[in-house]
């Protein structure tokens, strides 16, 4: 028996795990940039960390764009 309603998605965010990124997300018809780091990915969601202790799951269909977040060198912590 072949399952016909299985949704196959590729892990497209896995290459960004642990990196500082900015997600452009749709919230109530507004485009909101979320600076965060991606920590995990499932077939439907991306788990992000906004700051230490603040982790949330974001539905993939709400993500419009992902861009690596460049941090100025003088803001680096040793």
Among the ranges given (17-21, 22-26, 57-61, 70-74), the one the predictor scored with the smallest mean pLDDT: 70-74
* Residue 2 resides in a domain: no
Domain holding 46: CATH number?
2.30.30.100
What's the total number of domains in the chain? Answer: 1
* Residue 39 resides in a domain: yes
* Residue 38 resides in a domain: yes
* Residue 50 resides in a domain: yes
* Residue 58 resides in a domain: yes
Residue-wise pLDDT tens digits, 51-73: 888 999 999 999 999 998 776 55
pTM, two decimal places: 0.71
Using pLDDT thresholds of 50, 70 and 90, give the confidence band for residue 49: very high
Phi-psi label, residue 53: left if phi above 0, alpha if psi -120 to 50, beta otherwise: left
* DSSP state string for 52-76: TTEEEEEEGGGEEEEEE-PPPGGG-
Domain span at residue 51 reads 14-70
Predicted pLDDT of residue 5: 47
């Amino acid at each position: 028996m072949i399952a016909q309603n299985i949704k196959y998605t590729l892990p497209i965010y896995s290459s960004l795990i642990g990196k500082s990124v900015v997600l452009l997300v749709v919230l109530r018809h507004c485009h909101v940039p979320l600076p965060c780091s991606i920590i995990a990915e499932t077939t439907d969601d991306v788990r992000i960390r906004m700051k230490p202790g603040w982790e949330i799951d974001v539905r993939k269909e709400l993500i419009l764009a992902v861009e690596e977040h460049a941090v100025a060198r003088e803001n680096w912590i040793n």
